[in-house]
């Protein structure tokens, strides 16, 4: 009998894909529930991003206890981030609604510029979320600085992250409300996939 030879890593089959899809759906539901009080939204996103980072780098999901620990320690620093994010989204929504309804001068050209700016901001915010995940769900200020550098040195990744945000926004409008929590988990995973080849900063302790 010939000795067994390892020809490389085992191929993933449909069961692995189904398991990952289920895990991301559960992650999205947990993220949504944890973010419902609004002020906890940033903490929920940080913990979810850290969990996805672990899945990509370590090959397994963190324990429930680790997720809860990350969520808890991100609550206080994430409250200000949540307020800032909600204010920015509200301002953009008001501007887009006013331009689309012809209530302010500028029309279609200014509406297009506003949408492009929104996509750029979404791409930047997406890279911040990825970097927070790489840091174990902590360090929003440091993550913001790292994302700024990544936008400058890797504009393609910045644009791709903005594209993920735009597609996510479109899907959020098209899908039924009950599917929105599931979508959230896939969006976080997509952002990490887009930014995976870009080392924003050395990965911190997770």
How many other C-beta atoms lie within 10 A of the C-beta of residue 117? 12
pLDDT in tens, 55-92: 988 888 999 999 999 999 999 999 999 999 999 988 88
Is the whole-model pTM more than 0.85? no
| Spatial separation of the C-alpha atoms in residues 183 and 172, rounded to whole Å | 8
Query: Residues 86, 59: contact at Cβ < 8 Å?
Result: no
End-to-end CA distance of the chain: 46
Residue 189 burial class via C-beta count within 10 angstroms: exposed 0-12, middle 13-18, buried 19 and up: buried
85-129 pLDDT, tens digit per residue, is 999 988 888 877 777 776 766 667 787 888 888 889 999 999 999
User: Could you tell me the pLDDT band of residue 13, with boundaries at 50, 70 and 90?
Assistant: low
């Amino acid at each position: 009998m010939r000795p067994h030879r390892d020809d490389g890593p085992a191929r993933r089959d449909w069961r692995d894909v189904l398991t990952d899809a289920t895990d991301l759906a559960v992650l999205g539901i947990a993220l949504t529930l944890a973010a419902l009080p609004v002020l906890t939204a940033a903490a929920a996103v940080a913990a979810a991003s850290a969990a996805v980072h672990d899945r990509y780098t370590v090959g397994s999901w963190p324990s429930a206890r680790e997720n809860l620990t990350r969520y808890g320690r991100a609550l206080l620093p994430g409250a200000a981030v949540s307020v800032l994010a909600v204010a920015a989204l509200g301002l953009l929504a008001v501007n887009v609604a006013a331009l689309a309804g012809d209530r302010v001068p500028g029309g279609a050209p200014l509406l297009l510029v506003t949408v492009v700016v929104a996509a750029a901001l979404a791409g930047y915010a997406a890279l911040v979320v990825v970097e927070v995940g790489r840091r174990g769900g902590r360090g929003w200020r440091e993550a913001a600085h790292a994302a700024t550098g990544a936008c400058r040195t890797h504009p393609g990744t910045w644009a791709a992250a903005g594209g993920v945000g735009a597609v996510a926004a479109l899907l959020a409008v098209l899908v039924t409300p009950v599917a929105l929590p599931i979508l959230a988990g896939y969006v976080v995973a997509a952002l990490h996939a887009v930014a995976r080849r870009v080392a924003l900063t050395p990965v911190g302790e997770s």
